[in-house]
Structure formats: structure tokens, C-alpha cells
Amino acid sequence: MSRTEEVNKMTENVYKGILDQFNPSLKNFVTMGKHYEKALTGVTVAAKGYFDALVKLGELASDSQGSKELGDTLFQMAEVHRQIQVQLEDVLKLFHSELLAQLEQKLELDIKYLTVSQHLIDSAMAARPPFTLNQFWKQLSF
């Protein structure tokens, strides 16, 4: 086997490994991240209902002379809960924009690049006699 054929086989194996093993795992990771994001969004909706109920209880307790302190405590709890929810929503936005969307975009570009590169390699190897590595990389660069 010539050096060019060896390099071609090694490149082919690397591309095959990326396309067949790494990229599907990364795609699964992105999918699980989306499910996680959806679940946390559901928690956020439920938490808003909890917050509204807490505020309502605080209002009812504040109206009564005997439970004014309880009403104040409930309002404080509601405020802390609201702050936590705002932070969670901010983290969810960052999780989506900084991680999931970026990974998904890079994955799509990676698959396209590897597919085109593999096609170029196959075409070059089938259409011509063996050529040098420098010629191969020049042809491969887009």
C-alpha cells in the first residue's frame, strides 16, 4: 500500500469515526439538552403559579390584624422566590443561546464539512492516479 493510500485510509477512518460515533453522540446530547430545557420551562410555569398563590396568601394574611406578621413573611418568601425564578429564566436563556444553539449549529456545519470532504477524497482517489499530500490538501481546501 502506498503512502498516499495509507493517508487516504487513515483520513477516511477518522471521518468515519466522527460521523458514525462522535456526531451521533453529540446530537443525542443536544436533544437531551432540549428536553432538559423544556422540563425546566415547565417548572418555571408551575413556579409562577406557586408565586401567585403565595402572594395571594400574603395579601389575605396582611388584611387580618392577627396574621399581619404572617402576611409580611409570605411577601418576603414571595420576593425571594421571584428573584430565584428570574435567575432561573436567565440561566435557561443562556443555556439555550450559549450552549444548545451553538452546539447544534457547529454539529450541522461539521456534518456538512465532513460529508463534502469525504466526497472530495473519494472522487480524487477514484479519478486520478496517486498524488502528493500537498496536492490533496490544496484540493480539499474550500
Tens of pLDDT, residues 29-52: 999 999 999 999 999 999 999 999
Secondary structure (H, E, C), 60-109: HHHHCCCCHHHHHHHHHHHHHHHHHHHHHHHHHHHHHHHHHHHHHHHHHH
Give pLDDT, residue 141: 67
- Is pLDDT above 60 for 142? no
Which DSSP symbol is given to 128?
S
Domain boundaries, the chain: 3-129
pLDDT in tens, 52-105: 999 999 999 888 888 889 999 999 999 999 999 999 999 999 999 999 999 999
Query: Which residue, 36, 35, 26, 29, is CA-closest to 108?
Result: 26
Fold of 3-129: Substrate Binding Domain Of Dnak; Chain:A; Domain 2 (1.20.1270)
pTM of the model: 0.65
Distance of CA 97 to the CA centre of its chain: 8
